[in-house]
Structure 1
């Protein structure tokens, strides 16, 4: 099955995230668009994680139950039909990039999964829990990587 196409109108894959979408400025979730969702998808799951955090991968955003007929999400919004889970900072919703000063640019990986059946995750899942849970239900997925440094 072909991968999902995941993009943003405000940054390109492997390019810098604008400050508005980080904790340095507005801390607003970035707008995203997606396509090529299989007809048999029951739901979409969105995960954004900092894979370069010093303590290991940190979850910045997890949304489950996204309508597979949707085609994206506007800045600062919850994807259509989605339920936002607590992130690695103990808050519900988006917590933008905030890497330690002096670090090389961190990679913020947005993963979008199309699942054959709905999944159940803990209220504040780790990135590993999300990956493990969706793996057996996954039809296809797509990624988009944003970079950020102070």
Structure 2
């Protein structure tokens, strides 16, 4: 399994949970990508909640990343930043393209398909198991100042020195 956190600062962890991700997998096909050809996929972002972030946390970032995508650089499915420190959950569907379920002030970046929304899991048929990392990043700054058209990788690059802790929910998907 590719470790997407190699080369990043070693920071404490905190708990991330989801009613929609169970036993290391997605609970329903609707969380997979219809846009990328998965029959029944609706590109619906799962509910996510977290607890135990450091008291000094001023904001959060939520990302979904697949390091196993056949690109040489993985695939960023979702990135939301400037989530206020008072927030500890995102509801199911928060990754919709109209941003109506995001907390005030939160910004959704374009994913690697260049869409400002959640793109569900969609490993190529027969490519094997893909490991997905749904990560909540606790930051020591209340606002990240980057363009709203930036990439998720650029976002993480810009917060390298501001990450206080990370919570990770890992799941696997394979399409045969």
Instruction: Give the TM-score taking structure 1 as reference length.
Output: 0.89
Distance 1:32 1:126 in 2: 19
Match of 1:88 in 2: 112
Match of 1:104 in 2: 128
> What is the deviation of 1:87?
0.6
Match of 1:62 in 2: 79
Kindly report the root-mean-square deviation, in angstroms, between the aligned alpha carbons of the 2 structures.
Answer: 1.7
Match of 1:27 in 2: 43
How many residues are treated as equivalent by the alignment? Answer: 148
Give structure 1 stretches of 5+ with no counterpart: none
Distance 1:130 1:38 in 2: 21
> What is the deviation of 1:120?
2.7
SS in 2 for 1:136: helix
Match of 2:25 in 1: 16
> What is the deviation of 1:111?
1.4
1:142 counterpart = 2:152? no
SS in 2 for 1:66: strand
Distance 1:133 1:143 in 2: 19
Instruction: Give the TM-score taking structure 2 as reference length.
Output: 0.77
Q: Which runs of 4+ in 1 moved over 3 A?
A: none
